Chain A
């Protein structure tokens, strides 16, 4: 191809579609728009009316500082060559073939939308839920508003000690005052304020030195107004292998974490109304039925750590077991991406098949022209929000390299209007970034009125009403 035909000039910008408006999508957009070598115009699509993905619907509602990352994202959204299209469902409203006709490249940033199962008896009893459903519910995700969680139960078990598990445990322990200081929708604040939960169990398969939570998260657990932390002494002490590993690593943050856990284990109960039991070296073996089809308890097996051939520490059951009461169980043992129609998927790792962000053909393992991935749908659910920045940079570097080499789709109608005409033909009512700014202002104003940081709209209808519009699809 002649160099003059390459897209990436002011007259013929490289047109890029980003599917998914979470952190990875925004970091990718930022990298694409900030570099000056190739002129890029970005259209970002999300199936929700609002942008920001897990920052809005995943980050804990009492961690408002973490959400300030959206200030940078909104600056990216103000770029003259950036457009946001909310309420556009990839696969239904917009297909991979549509993208090929409209854009030079597409980058998929759809995250890890489903949870892994525990694979133990009783997992589907009433009262057993994926932790992500609860997180989405209390964070006002419109698809989860109608979920019901029986908060009249006194004992709750959370399987896992990653950051989702920790968030769920903390949210269940917040006092009504602490709940009001969050940006949860009203329905969640009301339900959680009336909760009768007294004992919350957090269950870790391995020991204190292997727990994925961070030191600030652990510190917060020890400072809750309404809950005492309880850790069995025997489980807070490191086993010889973990001690050896900790010493070999010289990791001071990890040493601090282990020390904090020991300190919690030595605390006397403070007489607070709730107890948060942090347990280590236990795995759920079975959810027990009350006799009415709902969960009443959890049988745990005890583990010891063994060193694998590669030097990692792995949990192995000892044969000892115990039962804890649990009327509500949340599993948080890992997440997977969901495959997208027409995009190669790697079932083993639960991600889009890719190498360094370039989508790979399932058969040949060779890069598929025009298609890229970034964020959790590329590498699986690991890291913090900021990890998506270097991750997206790797993908964008590959995209620009390919664009310079002319390895892009050859769209038949690459004008910015082509996609809006397509939506008009298909009666897709999309939201723009300006629409989102209006919703944002309304939520903040409602928060101010109620003495809260923000009150989220809890449904699609509420958002459309806030915009003075109706969803054409719903109205038809």
Chain B
């Protein structure tokens, strides 16, 4: 399965933020939309970083004043991106191995989606359930 199949049933919306925005704004966007990460976009709309709730928590734990900082101060950069044609299994392995939970998906220069580790696990589960369903049907009907 390709990442495009995971993104197709997710809608087009990806939550983004500028590097100069405040951490306060980032927290509001994360909480308001019940999400775990924001893609940080540069001037030309290219992903320049990723800001996750984990980045914020880590910074706040060492310095409560981190809330005064900007997105650029706390974001993970450079950001690792995937392409829509990439195999979901390989990307899942990369994310598990390197402990990422979010991967922006880019086509050419434009951001076209974001997959989370939850999306990939769910897609894999659906695929496995489907295979089991098909095998069971064949066994029962033959």
- Whether A69 sits at the interface, judged by CB under 8 Å, is yes
- Whether A324 sits at the interface, judged by CB under 8 Å, is no
Q: Among the listed stretches B21-29, B52-60, B62-70, B133-141, which one makes contact with chain A, having 4 or more residues with CB under 8 Å of it?
A: B133-141
- Whether B83 sits at the interface, judged by CB under 8 Å, is yes
User: Smallest distance from the beta carbon of B18 to chain A beta carbons, Å?
Assistant: 20
A168 to B82 CA separation, bound complex (whole angstroms): 32
Taking CB atoms, residues of chain B closer than 8 Å to A72 are: 137
Encoded as 1 (CB less than 8 Å from any B CB) or 0, chain A from 347 to 368 comes to: 0111101111100100001000
Q: Is the interface of A mostly helix, strand, loop or mixed?
A: mixed
Contact B130 A378 (CB under 8 A): no
Taking CB atoms, residues of chain A closer than 8 Å to B136 are: 386
Contact B130 A390 (CB under 8 A): yes
- Whether A314 sits at the interface, judged by CB under 8 Å, is yes
Most A-side CB within 10 Å, residue of B80, B82, B112, B133: B133
A309 to B95 CA separation, bound complex (whole angstroms): 11
A245/B90 contact (C-beta < 8 A), A72-B137, A309-B82, A386-B130 known: yes
Taking CB atoms, residues of chain B closer than 8 Å to A365 are: 11-13
Contact B134 A391 (CB under 8 A): no
User: Smallest distance from the beta carbon of B32 to chain A beta carbons, Å?
Assistant: 15
Residue of B nearest to A364 (CB): B13
- Whether A248 sits at the interface, judged by CB under 8 Å, is yes
A312 to B95 CA separation, bound complex (whole angstroms): 11
Contact B112 A348 (CB under 8 A): yes
- Whether A388 sits at the interface, judged by CB under 8 Å, is yes
Taking CB atoms, residues of chain B closer than 8 Å to A360 are: 11
A212 to B112 CA separation, bound complex (whole angstroms): 24
A339 to B81 CA separation, bound complex (whole angstroms): 29
Encoded as 1 (CB less than 8 Å from any A CB) or 0, chain B from 121 to 136 comes to: 0000111011111111
The count of chain A contact residues (Cβ–Cβ below 8 Å) is 43
Taking CB atoms, residues of chain B closer than 8 Å to A473 are: none
A312 to B90 CA separation, bound complex (whole angstroms): 5
Taking CB atoms, residues of chain B closer than 8 Å to A308 are: 82-83, 86
A210 to B2 CA separation, bound complex (whole angstroms): 11
- Whether B4 sits at the interface, judged by CB under 8 Å, is yes
CB-based A-B contact count at 8 angstroms: 127
Contact-size category for B: 35 or more
User: Smallest distance from the beta carbon of A377 to chain B beta carbons, Å?
Assistant: 10
User: Smallest distance from the beta carbon of A279 to chain B beta carbons, Å?
Assistant: 20
Taking CB atoms, residues of chain A closer than 8 Å to B17 are: none
A309 to B94 CA separation, bound complex (whole angstroms): 9
Taking CB atoms, residues of chain B closer than 8 Å to A390 are: 125-126, 129-130, 133
Residue of B nearest to A385 (CB): B134
Taking CB atoms, residues of chain A closer than 8 Å to B90 are: 245, 310-313
Residue of A nearest to B103 (CB): A310
A-contacting residues, B1-15, CB 8 Å: 1-2, 4-5, 7-13
- Whether B142 sits at the interface, judged by CB under 8 Å, is yes
Encoded as 1 (CB less than 8 Å from any B CB) or 0, chain A from 61 to 76 comes to: 0000110110110000
Contact B9 A314 (CB under 8 A): no
Contact B8 A380 (CB under 8 A): yes
A-contacting residues, B100-125, CB 8 Å: 103, 112, 125
User: Smallest distance from the beta carbon of B105 to chain A beta carbons, Å?
Assistant: 9
- Whether A120 sits at the interface, judged by CB under 8 Å, is no
Taking CB atoms, residues of chain B closer than 8 Å to A355 are: 9-11
Contact B126 A349 (CB under 8 A): no
Contact A349 B129 (CB under 8 A): no
Residue of B nearest to A360 (CB): B11
A248 to B5 CA separation, bound complex (whole angstroms): 23
- Whether A321 sits at the interface, judged by CB under 8 Å, is no
Residue of A nearest to B135 (CB): A386
- Whether B91 sits at the interface, judged by CB under 8 Å, is yes
Taking CB atoms, residues of chain B closer than 8 Å to A71 are: 141
A248/B93 contact (C-beta < 8 A), A314-B86, A348-B112 known: yes
- Whether A346 sits at the interface, judged by CB under 8 Å, is yes
A97 to B73 CA separation, bound complex (whole angstroms): 52
Point out residues on B near A: beta carbons under 8 Å.
Answer: 1-2, 4-5, 7-13, 80-83, 85-87, 89-91, 93-94, 97, 103, 112, 125-127, 129-138, 141-142
Point out residues on A near B: beta carbons under 8 Å.
Answer: 65-66, 68-69, 71-72, 210, 245, 248-249, 308-314, 346, 348-351, 353-357, 360, 365, 378-380, 382-391, 394
Add 19 more A-B contacts to A312-B87, A394-B126 (CB < 8 A).
Answer: A65-B142, A66-B134, A69-B134, A72-B137, A308-B82, A308-B86, A309-B81, A311-B86, A314-B83, A355-B11, A356-B9, A378-B9, A383-B127, A384-B131, A386-B129, A386-B135, A389-B130, A390-B126, A390-B133
